[in-house]
Structure 1
Amino acid sequence: MTTPWTPGGDGSDDKRHAPATLRNRDVIAAVLADWLPPSGVVLEVASGSGEHAAHFAAAFPQFDWQPSDPDPAALTSIAAWSGEAGLANVAPPLALDAASPEWPLTRAEAILCINMVHISPWEATLGLFVGAARLLPPGAPLILYGPYVEADGPTAESNLAFDASLRARNPAWGLRDTASVKAAAADAGLAFAERRAMPANNLMLLFRRS
């Protein structure tokens, strides 16, 4: 049995398991099929356990999937899941901190970031946008998935409780409002393109390099 995934968590197993991946990977893949370009390198920022990377690489063999994470335990787990899948289009995971001004690659045709924005300091999101604007060619997508707060609609009680639990764990974490996210993306040179409502009160947000 694999150890449940938590950022910065410990455990003896190389492979970690994030239960939400089994629930959301297929619905995310359905949106990716609409939003990803025809081919190229997809950089996944904050790949976590690595289960998404293995699943999406199998679902989209026309892409070279590049997982990444700043957490050494995550990098070990990503490598274990990718190795078990035996897919030639998954690259070894990169140690990448979204908040860092230096990223260990120089180009990608698309960037995907799942469930990082709310489980990281705001500086990580700002760094994600700056890095995406630096790597992506004009018109290429940055795709975000996760729970958000929207000023023009009510926030689900479950999301409010989740937000409170996140802030209790780390005051720098918490659900971000979409207006702030869009503004920060625009400041970095990324234009908001589309919003998709997802199950369990999540959203997918599409930005494109200006």
Structure 2
Amino acid sequence: MDILLIGGLWLDTSAWDDVVPELEALGHRAVPVALPGQGDGSTTATLADQVAAVLAAVDSSAGKPLVVGHSAACTLAWLAADARPEKIAGVVLIGGFPWDDGKLYADLFEMTDGVMPFPGWGPFEGPDSADLSDEVKAALAAKAVPVPEGVARGVVHLTDERRFDVPVVVVCPEFTPEQARQWIDAGDVPELARAKNVELVDLDSGHWPMFTRPTALATLLANATP
């Protein structure tokens, strides 16, 4: 099966370098999705551009792909479910949840000259980054791609309620499945509260398991395929 891998903020496709061979060894075709504005040098890309890139990857897949979103890109994966509910096998959300209609995609940190630079590790102290070595932190910060304002402040538009029929697996790294269930039941994640098939799975890692637990992550992704 094709497994489309969508990295979160500041990540380019190289974020999946350690996961791709693990998925291929398990018999799947892993496809890191290149997002406009996250690795191609563009500072004017928009959220619509990134959605279009994800949908192009869906449309060019053989059969129905599994769409995987990490962190903020959980919303991109969910937008694919909204736009192509009949063309995808399911979505996997790693360390995040999809925004609902009308929210800004990722207006989270200060903008500088039309982009949102990586803010340093301060905001991610604690469980998010506890499993990252100083060397890995330095390497990630050095490679971090500033996110264009048109992406970060793009408005999420959801239109097709068939998205709620798409199977969802939430990979819980720096939080537990029990916490995720509490947030969903409390109404903090309205999209998943309405989804008909949601599975919560635990992964003992921080927020970036593609760097620290690539084999375990690949196994979870493979297990999420129908």
Q: TM-score per shorter chain, which class?
A: 0.3 to 0.5
Q: TM-score, normalised by structure 2?
A: 0.39
Larger relative contact order (C-alpha < 8 A, sep ≥ 6)? 2
